[in-house]
């Protein structure tokens, strides 16, 4: 495994790092082939709250693949987490020899590259990864994505409209004034799977872009299963940087009365290229205390930047 591949895998891993109601239930409606009943965004999120994967400690074994314009490669990873505290990752290629060890806290990131002829380590801050990628990367995002919980969903701050999309509920974040001007329609008119295409040469878009920040032009969409209310898909449309992220979950499995998706796929798209990061959880243990060993071997070079 070449050194630039290690950096790509490390970086993409980091991006990469829902009541009883009157009338017929969704389960019975779906069984009869009837459409889902309309529900408010608050009702859907309230039902999802019962499906949030909660834990104090968790350990996982992953089998993952990364596909970029440079090619496709696979690796295996051991992941250990303590809630809101530490994410520890050991990455190995097919032969099973560790090549990268990563440890992340809410404020810091460090990793060790054990590649022959490229043995080095990096100690830095999470905001350095954000500056490097020109995209916000937080501890909570990584923790949520790995376990199938919603990424960047604030139950108190975010406002949504809800729509029925076949056998799922789609929540679409409400537009602000700048978003409406760029897209040309409001959140009630957009369909759940609509693609948001903009003309980057349009003078109005350029004028709004100069007066905006990233949050002004970010559209968030979440899909929940109409019966179980488990999170199935998330899409972020970033019109500020003209890129999108899609996260899909499937094959849910139970552990200690909690459900997690065994399979997750993340798609990163820009006008120039598309990359994929997908992984399968082959084993998961919940609420067993773990250690997070991270010892830097002697004679390893320190890198002052996360760049390759």
Confidence (pLDDT) at 231: 95
Whole-angstrom CA distances from 208 to 66, 141, 197, 225 are 35, 28, 16, 36
Predicted pLDDT of residue 253: 94
Residue 11's alpha-carbon distances to 42, 106, 257, in angstroms, are: 35, 16, 33
Read off the pLDDT of residues 132-184 as tens digits, 9 standing for 90 and up: 555 667 889 889 999 999 988 887 788 898 999 989 999 988 876 666 666 66
Residue 69, in any domain of the structure: yes
Please identify which residue in the block is written with the tokens 């990563």: 102
Distance CA 9, CA 16 (A): 9
Which of 182, 243, 186 is CA-nearest to residue 211? 182
**Scanning the structure block, which residue is given the tokens 């002697």?**
298
The token duo for 52 is: 């949030």
239 belongs to a structural domain: yes
What's the Cα-to-Cα distance from 2 to each of 113, 118, 151, 308, rounded to whole Å?
11, 9, 31, 11
Contact assessment for residue 57 and residue 85, using Cβ atoms and an 8 Å cutoff: no
**Which residues share a beta bridge with 254?**
259
Closest of 199, 277, 203 to residue 239, by C-alpha: 199
Tokens 């490669």 map to which residue?
73
Domain of residue 282 covers: 3-303
| DSSP secondary structure letters along 195-243 | -----TT-HHHHHHHHT--GGGGEEEEEEEETTT--EEEEEEEETTTTE
Place of tokens 């020899």: 97
Is there a domain that residue 308 lies in? no
In the chain, how many domains are there? 1
pLDDT at 22: 26
Only one residue has tokens 């054990």, namely 114
Q: What is the pTM of this model?
A: 0.81
- The domain that holds 233 is classified in CATH as 2.50.20.10
Low-confidence ranges of the chain (pLDDT < 50): 1-9, 11-12, 15-32
Sign (positive or negative) of CA dihedral 155, 160, 161, 164:
negative
Q: With pLDDT > 70 as the criterion, what percentage of the chain qualifies? A: 71
């Amino acid at each position: 495994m070449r050194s630039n591949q290690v950096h790509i895998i490390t970086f993409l891993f980091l991006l990469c790092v829902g009541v009883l109601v009157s009338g017929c239930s969704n389960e019975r409606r779906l069984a009869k082939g009837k459409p889902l009943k309309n529900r408010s965004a608050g009702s859907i999120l309230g039902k999802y709250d019962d499906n949030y994967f909660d834990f104090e400690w968790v350990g996982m074994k992953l089998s993952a693949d990364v596909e970029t314009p440079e090619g496709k490669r696979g690796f295996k990873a051991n992941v250990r987490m303590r809630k809101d505290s530490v994410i520890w990752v050991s990455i190995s290629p097919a032969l099973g020899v560790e090549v990268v060890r990563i440890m992340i806290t809410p404020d810091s990131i460090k990793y060790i590259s054990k590649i022959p002829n490229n043995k080095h380590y990096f100690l830095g801050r999470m905001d350095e990864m954000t500056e490097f990628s020109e995209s916000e990367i937080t501890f909570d995002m990584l923790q949520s994505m790995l376990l199938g919980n919603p990424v960047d969903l604030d139950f108190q701050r975010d406002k949504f409209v809800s729509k029925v999309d076949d056998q799922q509920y789609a929540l679409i974040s409400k537009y602000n004034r700048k978003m409406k001007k760029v897209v040309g329609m409001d959140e009630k008119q957009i369909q759940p799977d609509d693609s948001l295409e903009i003309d980057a040469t349009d003078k109005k878009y350029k004028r709004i872009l100069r007066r905006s920040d990233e949050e002004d032009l970010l559209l968030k969409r979440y899909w929940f299963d109409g019966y179980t209310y488990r999170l199935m898909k998330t899409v972020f449309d970033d019109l500020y940087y003209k890129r999108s992220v899609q996260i899909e979950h499937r094959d849910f499995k139970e552990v200690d009365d909690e459900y997690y998706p065994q399979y997750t796929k993340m798609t990163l798209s820009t006008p120039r290229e598309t990359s994929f990061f997908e992984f399968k959880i082959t084993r998961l243990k919940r609420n067993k205390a773990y250690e997070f060993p991270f010892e830097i071997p002697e004679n390893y070079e320190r890198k002052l930047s996360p760049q390759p």
